Amino acid sequence: MANQQLKIGIILGSTRQGRVSPQVGQWVKQIAEGRGDAAYEVVDITEYKLPFFGEGTGQEPGLAAWKGKIESLDGFVFIVQEYNHSITGALKNALDSARDPWFNKAAGIVSYGSTGGARAAEHLRGILGELLVADVRTHPTLSLFTDFENFSVFKPSSLHLTNINGMLDQVVAWSGALKTLR
């Protein structure tokens, strides 16, 4: 029952114009909401207009709003796209732009790229460890070649459903367990 109160943010890792991440995020949200086990929302980094870490005044309203949003969530699903074998600069900046609000929470990763975004996802796991975010094992990987038409229209293969649900099972379980630590 406690899990029904859990809030899980589906964080879009890319911010470029023409990005495909909103399509992937909405797809994950639709599957997640069908489960009825937590409150799921898409979190879009672009809406916060985050300054590059350390270059702003620290008083930007978006920065406070970003920290507040991360604080309000119990767990995360990162929508990760591979940029030069790693995560986007925008996602790294967003991760750096909050610290304590990440601590003792759980996360899953859904990635895409020419090799399923696997290299970017592994980089993200290293960063999450430093932020005390427990990343779950099950990791759906989407292919730019077979899950997208013309690399731009998302047409996911149904075979990913099992992995998405397996990942969410773990994120919800760990988010609930870690809530007791905070």
- State how far the Cα of 98 lies from the Cα of 102, in Å rounded to an integer: 7
- For ligand FMN, the binding residue among 27, 81, 105, 175 (CB under 6 A) is 81
Is the CB of 106 or the CB of 142 nearer to ligand FMN? Answer: 142
Q: Which residues 6+ apart lie within 8 Å of 36 measured at CB?
A: 4
- Longest Cα–Cα distance of the chain, Å, equals 47
Q: Does 83 bind ligand FMN (CB under 6 A)?
A: yes
- For ligand FMN, the binding residue among 48, 63, 77, 82 (CB under 6 A) is 82
Q: Does 146 bind ligand FMN (CB under 6 A)?
A: no
Nearest to 161 by CA among 169, 172, 150: 169
Q: Does 37 bind ligand FMN (CB under 6 A)?
A: no
- State how far the Cα of 16 lies from the Cα of 154, in Å rounded to an integer: 16
- For ligand FMN, the binding residue among 6, 8, 10, 14 (CB under 6 A) is 14
Residues in contact with ligand FMN by CB under 6 A are 14, 16, 19-21, 81-85, 113-115, 144
